[in-house]
């Protein structure tokens, strides 16, 4: 009788090479590559911040902290009061968020839960396409179409509606803070919609099915289950939209009517003005000495601080919401 000896698992592993334990130093090339990439990124970031800060020193020496609170800005006449630019940045961003956030989140809800699948794919593709359109295209569109509409119909109607009181006082001219805020809302709307749609798509189906199983209607599920569960992700979408709105340059330079860069504090949404980004873009070619260039770098520093504060505030809110959600 012949005995058949089955090869052991260890023999199979040895002969085939499968299951061989990797050596301890096999990940050294990957660690080295990651370290090099990280070092390059840190070096680029340090160089970027150093160049902005060092170039801004002549501007800070010229204006001091008066750049933050003076109320007259005229770059050509060396009047460097940055408060009108801060007000213009805050107003245009506020109008954009006021219009874009509810529409963007509502559109994302419709795409994720209400629109049929074939139409959903088409709408999602259009939204993603609009999100990558260059800002100068939006600026030209607003200048050629929305400006005449606001000048002839939109702003006069708002003025009559409020009896000419603030914030719709003054003379309607089309160009100005109102036009910039509206076009800016159109620019950030695809970004908020696309990210919010991805956030809703990542929500576990068990939450929705559980709410429906206890008799909740679709609207109740969306309002009381979906939106609260996705609040941190939605806040991230709004934060990214806010960052784009704060840093917008060329489009707002077209739309705010700030030429020739003479601004005072706005007393109406119909007035012309400027933002930090639009002034940097509009006056970059007019720099002729270290002081004037330093002023633009000062504006860049202020804008970076504002954007950084917005991001830190959003992170704090997300962290607090997550702590409340965890048991």
d(CA 85, CA 68): 10
At 103 the pLDDT is: 94
List the chain domain ranges: 55-325
At 326 the pLDDT is: 59
- Other CB atoms within a 10 A radius of the CB of residue 189 amount to 21
Q: Which residue has the tokens 């020193």?
A: 57
Give 177-215 pLDDT, tens digit per residue: 999 999 999 999 999 999 999 999 888 888 888 888 888
At 21 the pLDDT is: 57
Q: What pTM was computed for the model?
A: 0.83
Walk across the sheet containing 262-263 and list its strands: 79-80, 73-74, 262-263
Which CATH code fits 55-325? 1.10.3720.10
Percent pLDDT > 70 in the chain is: 87
| Confidence tier at 47 by pLDDT (50, 70, 90) | very high
Is residue 14 scored above 70 in pLDDT? Answer: no
Mean pLDDT along residues 259-277: 73
H/E element, 74: strand 73-74
Residue-by-residue DSSP string for 184-222: HHHHHHHHHHHHHHHHHHTS-HHHHHHHHHTT--HHHHI
Is residue 12 scored above 50 in pLDDT? Answer: no
Question: Which of these ranges, 45-54, 89-98, 284-293, has the smallest mean pLDDT?
Answer: 284-293
Q: Is 301 left (phi over 0), alpha (psi -120 to 50) or beta?
A: alpha
CA distances from 289 to 52, 55, 296 (A): 16, 11, 11
């Amino acid at each position: 009788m012949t005995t058949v000896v089955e090869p052991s698992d260890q023999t199979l592993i040895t002969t085939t090479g499968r299951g061989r334990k990797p050596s301890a130093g096999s990940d050294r090339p990957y660690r080295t590559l990651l370290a090099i990439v990280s070092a390059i990124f840190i070096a680029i970031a340090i160089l970027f911040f150093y160049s902005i800060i060092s170039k801004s020193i002549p501007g800070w020496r010229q204006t001091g902290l008066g750049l933050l609170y003076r109320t007259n800005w005229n770059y050509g006449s060396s009047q460097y009061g940055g408060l009108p630019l801060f007000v213009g940045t805050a107003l245009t961003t506020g109008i954009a968020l006021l219009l874009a956030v509810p529409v963007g989140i509502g559109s994302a809800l419709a795409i994720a839960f209400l629109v049929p699948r074939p139409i959903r794919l088409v709408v999602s593709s259009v939204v993603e396409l609009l999100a990558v359109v260059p800002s100068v295209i939006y600026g030209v569109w607003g200048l050629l179409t929305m400006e005449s509409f606001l000048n002839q119909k939109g702003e006069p109607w708002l003025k009559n509606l409020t009896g000419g009181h603030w914030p719709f006082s003054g003379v309607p001219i089309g160009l100005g803070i109102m036009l910039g805020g509206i076009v800016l809302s159109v620019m950030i709307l695809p970004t908020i919609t696309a990210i919010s749609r991805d956030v809703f798509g990542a929500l576990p189906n068990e939450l929705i099915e559980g709410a429906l199983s206890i008799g909740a209607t679709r609207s109740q599920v969306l309002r009381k289950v979906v939106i609260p569960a996705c609040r941190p992700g939605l806040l991230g979408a709004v934060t990214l939209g806010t960052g784009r709105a704060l840093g917008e340059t060329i489009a707002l330079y077209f739309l705010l009517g700030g030429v020739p860069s003479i601004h005072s504090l706005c007393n109406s949404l119909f007035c012309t003005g400027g933002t930090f980004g639009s002034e940097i873009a509009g006056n970059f070619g007019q720099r002729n000495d270290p002081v004037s260039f330093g002023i633009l770098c000062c504006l860049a520093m202020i804008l970076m601080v504002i954007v950084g504060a917005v991001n830190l505030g959003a992170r704090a809110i997300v962290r607090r919401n997550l702590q409340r959600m965890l048991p």
